[in-house]
Structure 1
Amino acid sequence: MHSKQELEEVHKRILPYIHITPVLQSGLLNKISGADLYFKCENFQRMGAFKMRGATNAILQLSKEQQQKGVVTHSSGNFAQALSLAAKSLGVPAYIVMPSTAPQVKKDAVKTYGGKITECAPNLKDREETAEKIMRETGAAFLHPSNNTNVILGQGTAAMELLKEHQDLDFMVTPVGGGGLVAGTALAAHFFGNNCQTIGAEPFEVDDAYRSLKSGKIETNKTTDTIGDGLKTQLGDKNFPIIQKYVSEIIRVEEAEIIEALKLIWERMKIVIEPSSATALAAVLRENEKFRNKKIGIIISGGNVDLSNLPF
């Protein structure tokens, strides 16, 4: 399906446009968890999240003619910012469809990065129809935030960097939203790890991926009442088969556990991360028997947090 070499090529392709992010450890968090934790800090990535990787790779894989016409996506969050900045770095126009309810700070960030925003009603149907209209009018190429093979491979490069630095990890743990990060991470763990299992972390409030793995088909959420605002989307037909094949399980966590993990990282590691990212540490703490004395890579997915709306 994919190969080690393919991930290497993706990494080489995007390297001029991304940061190789630091890996941090915390003696105290190791003690609390009873495990050896390696945090891959994508909150220090350009635009503040891992999504810069996938967005850059996806644009670079378009033909020159396609690039001139631009790219379009619908996203209220990090992919909107990632695609805008990646497009700006490559001199490509970016059209971003955002729900009218998206936080002003996110709209401002997209504008700073040069994305052209079109607002729509906050539902998937309107998002898709608005994006299609822009495609018809401009000829721009649609790039999905998580269900696009080039995006998935780009996201996998974070775990690949971590595994090249620490070959002997037993587990990789990432948050699960649309599935791009966990799918890319699982490919990296498969090709670059040494018997390294990938585990997804998901809030009980939006446990569509957990249910999808159980039922064998893509499930949806009726409500999305979680503090992990990056995790409200569902899996897609490109990433789901990879997740089925390479992700060993998905651990669900309570909202209180996410907040507790968020506080631990802010307080003890002195770094700013967004609530979605804390889900991975919350999963490790919740199932600490499983992870005891193991070496665990945790992908801190991003640090784009609304400072006026913190849960503590």
Structure 2
Amino acid sequence: MNIDMIRAAAARLEGHARRTPLLNSPFIDEIAGRRVWIKPECLQHTGSFKFRGAWSAISALDEDLRDKGVIAYSSGNHAQGVAMAATRHGITSVIVMPSDAPTIKIENTRALGGEVVLYDRETEDRDAIGSALAEERSLTLIKPFDNPQVIAGQGTTGLEIAAQAAEMGVTEAQVLVCCGGGGLTSGIALALEADAPGMRVRPVEPEGFDDVARSLRSGAIERNARTSGNICDAIISPEPGQMTFPIMQRLCGPGITVTEEDALRAMGLAFLRLKLVAEPGGAVALAAAICRQDEIEGEDVVVTISGGNVDSALFAKALDTAL
């Protein structure tokens, strides 16, 4: 993995992915005690940053291999990104999804052209299911984070952050990234290392599912005891990726954890102050900025809102929390 791969992915994404803005709200600044710059990937195609990595990976495949179709496993955002990218390439996509994924994500994946295969994440192994289907149907597996072209695609978010922050006069900041397996976190870290060396990435995770934070502390990959049971479903992975962890270990600062209540409050504030719809997992970085101020340094902080695919009932609860 290197910056050249990220720049090449950016070229392939040109005209296909949205260049999301970098936003600011004085109301959120006051709560956080510093300037907060928000990168809203909830405005990306399919409602999350995952479209970037999916398009990058699929567009990089040899044509003969790509035409046979692709397979992915995901709780919803990677699923939708792969389904949309595959459909726009005119190829088949099979998506392995947990049966407890939000209904809207399952329905959207099907609507975008993906063939959905459901599994029980407590009793079944999604990797094993995905690998078996890939071999049986000659499909190329597009992993959600441990794929160099996926990481490169997610890294284009970091290229945009560096350029947009510089336009605002910001060259030094901690960059809080919603973190599951580490694809977005490691991709942004690589991009900033090249284009904004004064910025340092900090992964943010939900309490009880902080495998990346623990791994960074111990220096070895740590696994979560559970793989479900938190509203931040979009960023719950069993453990950091084999490709992503070494990058995060080299480039990232200590991880930050937030509660479900923190995430709900951040969701509500994002809507009330910026009219952005964030899902719980996509709001944890903003939650860290407003609820964990003492763990952050500097006058500026950049946060990602990594996704906005949330069921209406949960979103209503978030609004009640923020009022």
Shared fold per TM-score greater than 0.5: yes
Alignment partner of 1:54 is 2:59: no
TM-score, normalised via structure 2 length? 0.91
Contact 2:231 2:281 (C-alpha < 8 Å) held by counterparts: yes
Which runs of 5 or more structure 1 residues have no equivalent in the other structure?
none
Alignment partner of 1:248 is 2:253: yes
How far does residue 102 in structure 1 lie from its aligned partner after superposition?
A: 2.7
Partners of 2:95 and 2:201 in 1: CA distance: 32
- Superposed, which structure 2 residues align to 1:192-203 within 5 Å? 192-203=195-206
How far does residue 294 in structure 1 lie from its aligned partner after superposition?
A: 1.7
Residue number in structure 2 paired with 1:96: 95
- CA separation of 1:102/1:34 partners in 2, compared to 1, >3 Å: closer, same or farther? closer
- CA separation of 1:53/1:242 partners in 2, compared to 1, >3 Å: closer, same or farther? same
How far does residue 125 in structure 1 lie from its aligned partner after superposition?
A: 4.2
**Could you report, residue by residue, the CA deviation over 1:189-232 in whole angstroms, capped at 9, with x for unpaired residues?**
11111411111111122111111111222211123432211121
Residue number in structure 1 paired with 2:210: 207
Contact 1:171 1:196 (C-alpha < 8 Å) held by counterparts: yes
Residue number in structure 2 paired with 1:180: 183
Contact 2:172 2:300 (C-alpha < 8 Å) held by counterparts: yes
Residue number in structure 1 paired with 2:86: 87
Partners of 1:235 and 1:117 in 2: CA distance: 25
Contact 2:104 2:310 (C-alpha < 8 Å) held by counterparts: no
Partners of 1:211 and 1:261 in 2: CA distance: 24
- CA separation of 1:21/1:308 partners in 2, compared to 1, >3 Å: closer, same or farther? same
Identical amino acids, percent of aligned pairs: 33
User: Which of the residues 269, 272, 286 maps onto 2:277?
Assistant: 272
Residue number in structure 1 paired with 2:222: 219
- Superposed, which structure 2 residues align to 1:40-189 within 5 Å? 40-123=39-122, 125-167=124-166, 168-189=171-192
Contact 2:205 2:256 (C-alpha < 8 Å) held by counterparts: yes
User: Which of the residues 226, 232, 235 maps onto 1:231?
Assistant: 235
Residue number in structure 2 paired with 1:305: 310
Contact 2:177 2:185 (C-alpha < 8 Å) held by counterparts: yes
How far does residue 137 in structure 1 lie from its aligned partner after superposition?
A: 2.3
Contact 2:102 2:310 (C-alpha < 8 Å) held by counterparts: no
Q: CA RMSD in A?
A: 1.7
TM-score, normalised via structure 1 length? 0.94
SS of the residue aligned with 1:199? strand
**Could you report, residue by residue, the CA deviation over 1:33-79 in whole angstroms, capped at 9, with x for unpaired residues?**
12111111111100000000000001111101110111101112100
Partners of 2:286 and 2:177 in 1: CA distance: 9
Partners of 1:248 and 1:104 in 2: CA distance: 35
Which one is further off, 123-132 or 88-97?
Answer: 123-132
SS of the residue aligned with 2:192? helix
- CA separation of 1:161/1:309 partners in 2, compared to 1, >3 Å: closer, same or farther? same
How far does residue 291 in structure 1 lie from its aligned partner after superposition?
A: 4.0
How far does residue 299 in structure 1 lie from its aligned partner after superposition?
A: 1.1
Contact 1:35 1:292 (C-alpha < 8 Å) held by counterparts: no
- CA separation of 1:104/1:22 partners in 2, compared to 1, >3 Å: closer, same or farther? same
How far does residue 308 in structure 1 lie from its aligned partner after superposition?
A: 2.5
Partners of 1:37 and 1:103 in 2: CA distance: 29
- Superposed, which structure 2 residues align to 1:2-17 within 5 Å? 2-3=2-3, 5-17=4-16
